[in-house]
Structure 1
Amino acid sequence: MGGIAACLPRRRHRAAPTVDEEKGKRSMACHHCRQESGLADAAGLVFSTKLAPPRAGSVVERARLFRLLDEGARGRFTMVIGPPGSGKSALLASWVRAGVTLSGPLAWLTLDEEDNEPTRLRAHLVATLRRAGTAGPAAGGDVLAGEPCVERSVPALLEAFGALSAPIVLVLDDFHELRPGPARNAVLQLARHAPACLRVILASRQEPDLPLHKMRAAGELTEVRGADLAFTEAETDELFRRAGVDLTPDQVAQVLRVSGGWAMGLQLAAVTRSEDEDCRTCLERWSKVVRLCSDFVLGELLEPMRAEDQELLLRTSVLSRLNASLVQAITGRIDASRMLRRLSAEQDLLTRVDEWTYRQNPMIRQALARELIERYGSAEVVSLRRVACEWYTAHGMPEQARQYATAAGALGPFPGASDPVPHPSVGLPEASPGGVTDGEGDQGASPVAGPLPQRGTTRPVPSRSGAYGQGLTASELEVLRLLTTDLTLDEIAARRHVSLNTVKTQVKGVYRKLRVGRRRAAVEAARLEGLL
């Protein structure tokens, strides 16, 4: 198979102006020097580790998903979409390493934040095509590096692909790292207008900005979504057996119920243990797995999101089921329906139960619930549960209202409920997203042991004088005390074992409640109020 370079005309440079021929020659020479220097610089930007599938440990080969990818590699465009930690990269890497049989070469490129720079993206595209054996040395200079605008170089590249005798499969991993701009547009052009000899497989946390409905209608789109990426019982059992843990069928089923088949959660559960512990203790200490997952969810999912999406996901973590009316009652957002559709379709963070109802992955929901308490205190959690209780009561669902009332520590009566509602303590179980089950074991308890111990109750701490500082939570009060030291916000986050974003939110809450705008003013106001 000939290289792409053979399909492309060489770029020609205009002759020097006849007015000053010697000056023109010098100018031309400088131009060639700049171009050669640019190519050399681009070569220095390439990281070879981005041009091959990432290495992983013991990975479960998922034959049912391999078949989907095989089908996609024979079509025009394949999209692997799922939330962070759902196993997109691991799936594609294991598929490639399983010895997939293709009719042509395969090129791999893992995108990252730095590929938003067009020069770096061009360099990596050239390098991955050369590595696959499809682009000769001149192709990079003529098609990509020779064109100052990466978007304008794509049509020529596509024309060259169209002349190939055998197809090439181009895997683009972590597409979500590309922000709106020239680099992202170039990749989208490549996927949207790919000729028959170019099969693009794109993995991302969000849907790409492509006419997916047209591709579906034309039969040109293969999709692997979050629901497909969720582990089955057989795959879960295989994952734990590879980690040296033999589970009973009942334990496997319970692990799936509390994890939702989320790859990251299962992987952490399978390997989480101390050197002197038996492997089975990873199930008995499920709360440790939840804490580890929480760090990942906060850093990879929550912090990069828009503030309005963060708020919705955090506040609805008390709910076992979501619909627009209930979410509007919980969050006050009149566009709740649109946001739920977007989070479900574009980011695959919610799973549709029916046309109007959604649910979150139970393990991600547990992590969000922990963060909800850290940011706003358990008083806010109780308030949200009471709103949910009132909503279910108003909509004639007394049993669900009863569950939320019990979790919130409220008293009945609720029409249709068989017994009066007890008045338990307000604390939140450590691994439970809201103390409310949904009939599918979605309460986050350990797959082996019973419910985990409750955390201590966190109540709002009012100021002594009552003028300012009303409603400071225990977490905010702890942050306030640390503000009196020389610690930076990063160091405060490390001291409290929470994310920097959590500390920033709590500091903003302290400033708002003390009616100040700076750190020193907050400390002075707190001392005047007797809070320190």
Structure 2
Amino acid sequence: MTGPGLDREREAFRQSAESKTPRPPLTLVTRERLHSALDLGVRAPLTLVVAPAGTGKTVLLSDWVTRRRLLGQKVVWVPGQTPGSLHGFLERAAELESALMLDPIVIDDAHLLPASTVTEMARVLQQSPHAVRLLLATRYDLPLPISELEIRGMALTLRSRDLRFNDAEATLLVQAHAEDATPDAIARVQEKTAGWAAALVLAARTLQSSGDVVWPLASQRPVLDLLFGETLNTLDPRVQAMLLSTFGVTSLTPQLAAVMSGDGEAGSMLEDLAGSGLLVTAYADSPSSTPLYRYHPLLVELLRRRIAISVDDRQLVVTAQHRSALYYESRGDSEAALRSALLADDAELVARILLGHGPALLTAGEAALVEAAFDVLPAGYVEQHPHLFGVRGLLRRVTGDVAGAVLDAASADERTAESTAEARPARPEDDALAADAVLLRLWESRYGWQDVHAAIERARSLLSPVPAAGDTPHAVLGPERLAWLLIELAAAETWADELDAALSHLDEALVTARMAGHHQLIAAGLAHRAVVQHVRGQGQNAAWSAQAALDAAGEQGLPQEYCARAQVVLGFAAVSGLDLDSASKYYEQVAVADVAGSDTVVAGLRTMLRTMLLVEQGRLGDALTELTTDPVAAGPLPSYLSRDLALLRCWLATLLGDKATVDTQVSVLERTGNTTEAELVRAMTSMEDAQAALKLIEAGLDRPDIYPPLASAAASFRTVLLVRAGDELAAEAALVDTLNRITPQRMLHVLATAGGEPAFLDRLRKHLTGPNPHPFAAAALEKLSSYQPAWSEAGGMTPLARTRPDAHTPPPRRLEAVINGARIKLTAREAEVLDQLALGSSYAEVAQALFITENTVKTHLISLYRKLGVDKRSAALRTARTVGLL
């Protein structure tokens, strides 16, 4: 990645990462010796500033960054608690040959970085150290290759001893806070603080206010603790009240500070405090933007102790949290609103936020927070406020308490019926309860505990914009609740074989979730859509949706119920593309999931994926065992699931030569409404009369509603039969039709049977050398030529193999081929050497097997490579397979 694309990526990263740069405090001492050290350090890949809180790391780095920017030198600032796009940037850095960005990246509070980001950072520093210039401020050492880089002169570390203020620096700093400090007082402060930045400032402020510093030599409390307390006590009571009201917020805006403290001057107070560079640090996206404030961790601890011993201070916090909850709720931040409500000691507020936003929080993966909220409600509160039954039922469903969820679903139904019977206008709480009750019924219906069609109709009635005559007006729902309801409705419709309706409702759900900006609901909708697309034979589209679901979920990840859907679909897509290693990895992830939480459709798909992988591994007996029983189903299987299971059983039975089972599964296809598929399978498994089979296949392929993967497989069978019949023109047309069918969804696995036939591969090679080759022909030939089915080695045989004219006569060894338009011919000895290479033999092993010297082997290899137009073994084998020499 070079040129304009790389420049755009660099600039995008800078713009996203340069936000929240701390503003330098107003009273600051520029420390030239440390600036010089940092200037030197950032010429190398890694510079570390490792020291505890209160040693002036952030102040030093913010001053250094400001100076460089004033000189026109670019610096990126990344807070450790909000690393933004740093993780993705590091993932790509080591993959690029040239340096990605030599501007220094300053990471403050690097000890707060996610473990995955630190791991990526270590990888880049080990593999491509010259790709980055990192400057990290951290309270402790991180698992980075520091020693290795220091030995190579590629890292610099500054520690507490380096950050201590020398006498000259200490004098300037104390005088900045206490103008009238005498040299003796400054000397005493420096002696007692040992150059510790925070202690120097605190002592100076105390000196300024009282004229002296009383050092607690006999006290057991730390110096900083005492000094912070003394400094806090010198502040105006309004400032102290503001600090007590707001100290629990990680990143505080002036507006939120004013809301929580009830003081309109809170923003000015924060600005004054930040100006001292002591109690508060200010961050801003740009010099003109509204700053964010963060409190010193030692100050936070001191304030926490105060509210523990003071009833009045505790009441300030409770009142502030109540205001905070309302503020966050008005801004749509339901998670922050509920967290604040939990601290506000107000059951009614907690209950109201639970009812309004509980489902949104559950779908965002905040089940623990919702559970904590129910725990703080007084005993019997839900029974006295029955509108909460639905939310609690959804919580119990998400956390695996099936029995509790079923009981709450029944209670929600009962309360909904009572509200309807009262014949009064619906209130918001009635709408919420009605939606939650339907959500729970849809969930239950997928396990056979409720009638699925009745649950679907109930959901559709709730969502209908126009109520039926005599019905009450329908619910007005928030976007998160609505999106979840639409997704659950689509899941039930998928189970009920109503795939068109399911896709329509999933589209609605995705639009609603995107409008709400709810990434987890977006991911859930995409995961469900992937399953629907897969069962319709749209494997590539399904894979795109599945991957988009995993991407949309972000670092938080998908709940297991949705993740299983995405991964099983990706597993099938990998099989379809003959990428069996990736398919196995996806299956391993699905195998450990509790598929019971994902319903019978996913359980059935998992069984089929495992069976396909067992067949590909040559474990035909294990595959047969896997398919001996149907998945546990909530009633009759959907027709598509019955179809796919029957087709898979047919394929396995065909490989094993079990005609009775094939006939049984063909009957299953007919009984479940898949008559066209039944006719095609009958034609493809009864190949003794080639002409009759060809006519049946032609008739089946003319049907518009045929299952795409089976149609593609049948088209490849037709190609082979026409080649065998000697009809070159018809065979060429059939091959192009086959390629047209498999290309949109990249369905290579359906060609596995025909791909093992020399007639099919020869036709594909001839097609490639023709005047107008199909765009997907080369990729198909390469994949099929290298495909070595283990089921064949295990004794499995396809109908085409059984009816091959030369089935009992080994084909003659091919020595001629066309490569890059030129015809080449191998000698018999070169062919033997090529065969030995394919077995993985070394030069010595080839020589021993063919009774020749190693030098003779090398001579044949030189000639062989020249003819194939390659320069190494792997390329020789790949080319030889592609042109049919192996």
Q: TM-score w.r.t. structure 1 length?
A: 0.39
- Which structure has more relative contact order (CA 8 Å, sep 6+)? It is 1
Q: TM-score w.r.t. structure 2 length?
A: 0.25
Larger Rg: 2
